[in-house]
Structure 1
Amino acid sequence: MAEAESSGKFFIDLPDSDSAIALAGAGQSTLHRLESLTGVSIVLRGLQLEISGRQSQLERAVALVELIRPVWQEGQIVSPVDLTAALTSIDTGRQADHASLGEKILARSQRGQLLRPRTLRQKTYVEEMESNDLTFSLGPAGTGKTFLATLLAVRMLTEKKIDKIILTRPAVEAGERLGFLPGDLQQKVDPYLRPLYDSLHALLGLEKTSILLEKGIIEVAPLAYMRGRTLEDAFVILDEAQNTTSAQMRMALTRLGEKSRMVVTGDITQIDLPSGVTSGLVEAIKVLKGVKGISICKLTSADIVRHQLVQRVVDAYARKEKSS
């Protein structure tokens, strides 16, 4: 007969009320999730966390709380993604790698949130962007492909490592119907560029974004606007690249000028091109694989940092596609 595992308790002192609130979550939702993930019982008394359970559960729970310490200790809300990513790192023996996530702060949002990679693959993605002039990022919606690229671009602009940020995407949804839409050309294409503006507003605020756009320091434009240009001293982000044709992708990649870098993002499961038209992104990652100075990063549903339901939706559709 197997010997019953002994139970025990462990106490963690929290530095201040902000960290306690951040760790507990709204209605102690984060603590409840911690209990669900590890099987322990957790009680927060003032600035002391009491964790009780079987020894193996206890060790795992304490390791999890300590691994996410850089988040809650700064008064930053602990998200479900933070918990699951940290737990995966513990279960795979990558605690040391995960601990370095806390040191990879890229910026602070307009709401005061510290912005950093949330998963190990996101951290790798940021490091690849920092060290390569051309980076491809593939993954489902919500994995931070565009946001992290924009975040790094803004940081490099602030540090004066580049003179300009160029955000572009193919407006394939508009097709040839732009002429029938109201307003001037910019007003016609703006709805298709809205996700890029949203990222800028989250990082810089509406007023500062507007000023930088007016000065031409930040440019948000359809991919067609890039033809014939040489993009120098710039950080170029080509978003939704799965909707480029082969010719458009080749045109975009050959725009890169001196002291510039480019990040190409896309989700090859969400191609909106007409049937029979090859995606420029799909072709490019095959043609350019192994070329020096080019990195290809792949994010998965485990890297989704939006609402936790998004991960379930992505996984459900992936299962459907495999079975069909």
Structure 2
Amino acid sequence: MSTAAVKEEIPQDANEHCPGPESELAGKNDACAGCPNQTICATAPKGPDPDISVIAERLSGVKHKILVLSGKGGVGKSSFTSQLAWALSGDEDVQVGVMDIDICGPSIPTIMGVVDEQIHQSNSGWQPVYIQDNLSVMSIGFMLPDKDDAVIWRGPKKNGLIKQFLRDVDWGTLDYLLVDTPPGTSDEHLSLASFLKESGIDGAVIITTPQEVALQDVRKEIDFCKKAKIRILGLVENMSGFVCPNCHGESVIFPPTTGGAEALAKEFGIELLGRIPLDPRVAKSCDMGVSFLDEYPESPACVAYEDIIDRLRDIVY
């Protein structure tokens, strides 16, 4: 979905919205005032991006593309993406790729245990890092000289890297390409929707936690998906209570004062895929770079993950 198409869904009086870099108003609209990219958008060539067809050809071997979104940071997008990837790749006949486009905070390399790996170039393009024969990962985290280096980039440079991840990476034949996104509804999300407009997106899984402060931002993410015409596969409530690793007793940590994800799902007519309780061993597994599902199959959180993942398989197919 191009940013121009997104613009068609935005009311004309909503000047706070970006008109999109392909629009004739790019860099000239009232909404562009003060934007650091105003001059670039105003002077850049207009019209369809010729690389979009190249991306479509590159991704022609990818059957399903699933985005993991949330308006709020810290709700567990990356941990969910990693567990989904490990669960899907548990079938040796299923090929899975993970693309981390959280440019400023790439956590997938750590969570998936490949933080010290590097990207290699071949005649067919950049080679993703393989965790196992049927599970590969691409992230800016592999490109940083030091993992603690800050990525201080403006929008165009971030968007250029996302394009490279789609155009120049030799993903090969995949059953699933999972995209871990940063919080919000900004440059990265618009670029992703634009670059994938020809190759298609199966849909998005939106992650939230039960409290209203998270749900407020998730409502904005839902609105973005509607305007960008991205199908919402379902809503996942993460950290839904605390599970004691010893007695398996559950306690409420983030009270759902406005009804939590269940009420939000009913409000917008979205399927609630499930609730994942907070198990401290999830964080431990992410820090160690191992699969929580493999390490702690007896956990109620593991059962919740598996139920959600089984439902996602059914929806996508």
TM-score by length of 2: 0.33
Q: Which of these two proteins has the greater Rg computed from alpha carbons?
A: 1
Task: With the length of structure 1 as denominator, give the TM-score of the two structures.
Answer: 0.33
Higher RCO (C-alpha 8 Å, min separation 6): 2
Which structure shows the bigger proportion of residues in helix conformation? 1
